[in-house]
Chain A
Amino acid sequence: MTDTELRLTLPATPENVIVVRQAVAGIGEALGLSPPRVADLKTVVSEACNNVVLHAYETEPGPLEVTAEPRDGELEIQIADHGKGFQPRANEGDPSLGLGLPLIAALSDSFEISGGAGRGSRTTIRFGYEAPEPSSNGAHAEVSDGLEMAITPGVMVKPVLARVIGALAARAEFSVDRLADTVLLGDAVSSSEGQDFADGLLGITIQDGDGTLHVRVGPLVEGGGERLMGEMDVPGAGSLQSLASRMEVTTGETAVGETAEFLEFEVTS
Chain B
Amino acid sequence: MGSDRGISAGVRTGELALERKDQGVAVLTISGEHDLSTAPNLRRRLDGLIEEGVATVVDLSPATFIDSSILGVILDERRRATEARLGFAVVRAGGSNAVDRVLEVTGLRSELPVHAGREEAVAAVSDNAEGSP
Which residues from chain A sit less than 8 Å from chain B, CB to CB? 13-15, 17-18, 21-22, 35-36, 39-40, 42-43, 46-47, 50, 53-54, 94-97, 99-100, 102-103, 106-107, 162-163, 166-167, 169-171, 173-176, 179, 183
Q: Report yes or no: B105 in contact with A14, Cβ–Cβ below 8 A.
A: no
Bound Cα distance from A166 to B72, whole angstroms = 27
Contact of A103 among B35, B37, B102 (CB under 8 A): B102
Which residues from chain B sit less than 8 Å from chain A, CB to CB? 5-13, 33, 35-37, 39, 43, 65, 67-69, 71-73, 75-76, 96-98, 101-102, 105-106
* Interface residue SS majority, chain A: helix
Q: How far is the CB of A258 from chain B (nearest CB, A)?
A: 35
Question: Given A14-B36, A18-B33, A39-B97, A99 and B9 touching (CB < 8 A)?
Answer: no
Minimum CB distance partner of B96 in chain A: A36
Bound Cα distance from A39 to B65, whole angstroms = 8
Contact of A40 among B12, B37, B72, B101 (CB under 8 A): B101
Bound Cα distance from A172 to B25, whole angstroms = 33
Tell me which residues across on chain B come within 8 A of A167, comparing CB atoms.
11, 13
Question: Given A14-B35, A18-B37, A46-B35, A39 and B9 touching (CB < 8 A)?
Answer: no
Q: Report yes or no: A36 in contact with B101, Cβ–Cβ below 8 A.
A: yes
Bound Cα distance from A163 to B97, whole angstroms = 17
Question: Given A39-B97, A40-B98, A103 and B7 touching (CB < 8 A)?
Answer: no
Q: Report yes or no: A39 in contact with B98, Cβ–Cβ below 8 A.
A: yes
Q: Report yes or no: B75 in contact with A97, Cβ–Cβ below 8 A.
A: yes
